[in-house]
Amino acid sequence: MSDVGSIDEGVSGGQKYNVVGMEGGGAEFDSGKGQQSQQIEQELATKMLQIQSKRFYLDVKQNRRGRFLKVAEIGADGRRSQVYLALSTAAEFRDHLSTFSDYYASLGPPNPENVPEDGKLKSEMMIKDNRRYYLDLKENTRGRFLRVSQTITRGGPRSQIAIPAQGMIEFRDALTDLLEEFGTSDGGFKGELPEERHMKVDNKNFYFDIGQNNRGIYMRISEVKSNFRTAITVPEKCWIRFRDILTDYCEKMNKSDTSITADNNIQTTPSNSLK
Q: What percent of the chain has pLDDT over 90?
A: 47
Residue range 249-274: mean pLDDT, rounded: 67
Q: Between 13 and 82, whose confidence is greater? A: 82
41 pLDDT more than 60 = yes
Three-state secondary-structure class, residue 58: strand
Q: Between 66 and 42, whose confidence is greater? A: 42
Q: Between 91 and 272, whose confidence is greater? A: 91
CA dihedral sign of residues 213, 218, 219, 220: negative
CA dihedral sign of residues 209, 211, 217, 223: negative
Residue-wise DSSP of 60-71? EEEETTEEEEEE
- The burial class, CB within 10 Å (0-12 / 13-18 / 19+), for 182 is middle
